Amino acid sequence: MATLNTSAVVDKSFDYHVDRFADIEVLRYEVPEFDRLTLQQKKMLYYLSQAAQMGRDIIWDQNGKHNLQIRQLLEKIYTGYNGDRNSDDFKAFEKYLKQVWFGNGIHHHYSTDKFRPEFSQAFFEAEVAAIPDSELPLAPGQSRTEMMEILVPVIFDPAVMAKRVNQDGTQDVVATSATNLYGEGVTQAEVEAFYGAMKDPADQTPVSYGLNAKVVKEDGKLKEEKYHLTGLYGPAIAQIIYWLDMAKSVAENDAQKAYITKLIDFYVTGDLHLFDEYSILWAEDTASDIDFVNGFIESYGDPLGMTGSWESYVNFKNTASSERTEKISSNAQWFEDRSPVDPRFRKDKVKGVSAKVITAAILAGDAFPSTAIGINLPNSNWIRAQHGSKSVTLENITEAYDMASHGNGFNEEFVIDEPTRKLLDDYLYITDMLHTDLHECLGHASGRLLPGVDQDALKEHGSSLEEARADLFALYYVADPKLLELGILDNPEAYKAEYYKYMLNGLMTQLNRIEPGNDIEEAHMRNRQLIAKWVLENGRKKGKGGKDVVELVKRNGKTFVQVNDYPKMRELFGNLLAEIQRIKSEGDYKAGNDLIRKYAVTVDPKLHKEVLDRFSKLDIPPYRGFINPVYTPQYDAAGQITDIVISYPENYPEQMLRLSRDYSPLTK
């Protein structure tokens, strides 16, 4: 097996499986080495976990303006229900509530399509009618009838708020998205003009316009409602500030204190310059053991890719595994100088690409229950260029995924033959983690824009093309002999495991996440299909002996991915990387749009149906997410914390109901 440093001794008795419903499986993750932390570190982690969970209501409200009210109403029905909990209506109701919890609102976390309730409207109305007025989550001045007139169509009419994030560029993506980042009557053209007027093209260090604001229309004019202590989401932000301040009191060093102070100042004022100052201090602190993200960060939830969805990660360093990513990031310039792109688009100096492997301790906001396995922040391009970025791999999360899927029958169903299955068994875990490391540490950090090119020039395709660029950089280098020289891999063939899985996923198995008849919309999925289909098509007859580099073949009536020439595939990844880097560096919207339209969006309905059928026999959930461990302070007689105890006692509804009870500053 490869020379992978896994510090965690895998605990075979740990129960990773928590719940299963609709297209979702809920897992729990273990937090190995928690007990090696000092009391001060445990306290800090506890305070940060409080700050993380206090923001939960924010993401619910950002995702849709009725979400918090609906959550309260559904939970009220769920906990107070006196009828038969095995009846069809109640079972369907419970499934819907579990979906809503998972989506942080009434839309699917990934497809952003609205959930379809399978219980009857009559059941819902009867249950609401049984709740006294005083216990209904009515808005100020709202009557029961008014509430139901709004909520019934929002829940039951498929045409109302159908999609949270509409990416269809032929429509007004602002007006047709159900997200609560824009007010009533605001159009895409108005928002683009509003921020266009704010941006100064000569500004070399622009703030991330719109990152922390809802845009509303007042007297026919647009204005921002900012998220800060005395603005939108103030009550939740006040709690976040309180706990961040507690964390600051036990911070590990002055650098950490300094960036927590800046973050608090940003939350108080909403001033985006302070957020940039915080981001720089945060990116430059690579010494601290405990680390966290807490704020308005990723913009996938905004059809225009500007406003940050609130999220939080709290984590600490996995020292042994971090040696792997430190080797990669300390060689960043070596990789950059040899990347297969036009030298004009390379960075002369790749700055401060720091990378570490972490143990996740709390996931929150947009990162919960569904989470990323790698993060690279800050997102601001000029900060990345001038100050570097911090890149992390969440190894205990990856490990939980891996452990939970053992023996689920996927490889037997979809991998073409026994030698390939063996290859995946031996090398996919390490090469998959390496792919994440390379994507986050090097991929996003590589390359540069030509002078004068707007960083938003690729518009609605910016996210997909950026993910493609980072993936291609990782795919190209996961096959590089340099990784053997660095002692990270021990077999020159190992990369083939990642190549096979990437093509299988991009051409076939990721379609399991798409409803029949739908196109591909989500940025990461578009990126993966773009790469896989491009290589399939551009590798025709280019492999050794004039064969296709990769092809789709039929065996016993089933479709399989067959790779005929792995080295040539690496070359093709390099070619596409060069082209996508050119598109980004030159801001060539047209070429980017052509690539996306040709390869990334449409689905072959026959193959799609086959994939869904084969998956349905396996009962593998397309999506997975996590509940968190519980951290409980122990106190002495004087009320001082003597220890923080970690435990994993809850099932999924128990955790969700506890969060709603203890961490909901916007609904109290």
Q: Which is nearer to Zn ion, 443 or 629 (CB)?
A: 443
Name the amino acid, one letter, at 514.
I
Min separation Cβ 442 and Zn ion, Å? 11
Min separation Cβ 470 and Zn ion, Å? 5
Please enumerate in sequence order all residues whose Cβ is within 8 A of that of 57, keeping only pairs 6 or more positions apart, or say none. Answer: 68, 233, 236, 663, 664, 665, 666, 667
Min separation Cβ 12 and Zn ion, Å? 32
Q: Which is nearer to Zn ion, 49 or 339 (CB)?
A: 339
The stretch near Zn ion (CB under 5 A) out of 96-104, 448-456, 465-473, 559-567 is: 465-473
Distance CA 424, CA 405 (A): 13
For Zn ion, the binding residues in 63-122 under the rule CB under 5 A are none
Count of residues that bind Zn ion according to CB under 5 A: 2
Name the amino acid, one letter, at 96.
Y
Cβ pair 322, 356 in contact under 8 A: yes
Please enumerate in sequence order all residues whose Cβ is within 8 A of that of 368, keeping only pairs 6 or more positions apart, or say none. Answer: 56, 104, 311, 625, 626, 628
Judged by DSSP in three states, 130 sits in coil
The stretch near Zn ion (CB under 5 A) out of 3-11, 102-110, 254-262, 463-471 is: 463-471
Q: Which is nearer to Zn ion, 373 or 430 (CB)?
A: 373
The stretch near Zn ion (CB under 5 A) out of 10-18, 423-431, 468-476, 636-644 is: 468-476
508 touches Zn ion (CB under 5 A): no
Residue of 427, 512, 526, 416 lying closest to 471 (CA atoms): 526
Distance CA 41, CA 34 (A): 10
The stretch near Zn ion (CB under 5 A) out of 357-365, 392-400, 466-474, 583-591 is: 466-474
Distance CA 76, CA 127 (A): 9
Name the amino acid, one letter, at 293.
V
Place of tokens 């300094």: 258
Min separation Cβ 300 and Zn ion, Å? 11
442 touches Zn ion (CB under 5 A): no
Min separation Cβ 521 and Zn ion, Å? 17
Distance CA 425, CA 416 (A): 14
Q: Which is nearer to Zn ion, 470 or 576 (CB)?
A: 470
Judged by DSSP in three states, 296 sits in strand
Min separation Cβ 104 and Zn ion, Å? 21
Q: Which is nearer to Zn ion, 26 or 470 (CB)?
A: 470
Min separation Cβ 467 and Zn ion, Å? 5
The stretch near Zn ion (CB under 5 A) out of 193-201, 462-470, 565-573, 604-612 is: 462-470
523 touches Zn ion (CB under 5 A): no
Q: Which is nearer to Zn ion, 295 or 374 (CB)?
A: 374
Cα 563 vs. chain centroid, distance in angstroms? Answer: 30
The stretch near Zn ion (CB under 5 A) out of 2-10, 467-475, 514-522, 617-625 is: 467-475
Min separation Cβ 129 and Zn ion, Å? 48
For Zn ion, the binding residues in 244-263 under the rule CB under 5 A are none
Q: Which is nearer to Zn ion, 222 or 470 (CB)?
A: 470
Min separation Cβ 281 and Zn ion, Å? 23
Measure Cα distances from 328 to 334, 384, 397, 441 in Å.
10, 17, 21, 8
470 touches Zn ion (CB under 5 A): yes
Structure tokens at 642: 């003597």
394 touches Zn ion (CB under 5 A): no
Min separation Cβ 466 and Zn ion, Å? 7
3-state DSSP of 10-52: CCCCCCCEEEEECCEEEEECCCCCHHHCCHHHHHHHHHHHHHH
Min separation Cβ 444 and Zn ion, Å? 6
Return the residue nearest Zn ion (CB atom). 470
Q: Which is nearer to Zn ion, 154 or 332 (CB)?
A: 332
What is the DSSP track for 524-575? HHHHHHHHHHHHHHHTTT-SGGG--SEEEEEETTEEEEEES-HHHHHHHHHH
Distance CA 279, CA 403 (A): 34
Residues of this chain that bind Zn ion (CB under 5 A): 467, 470
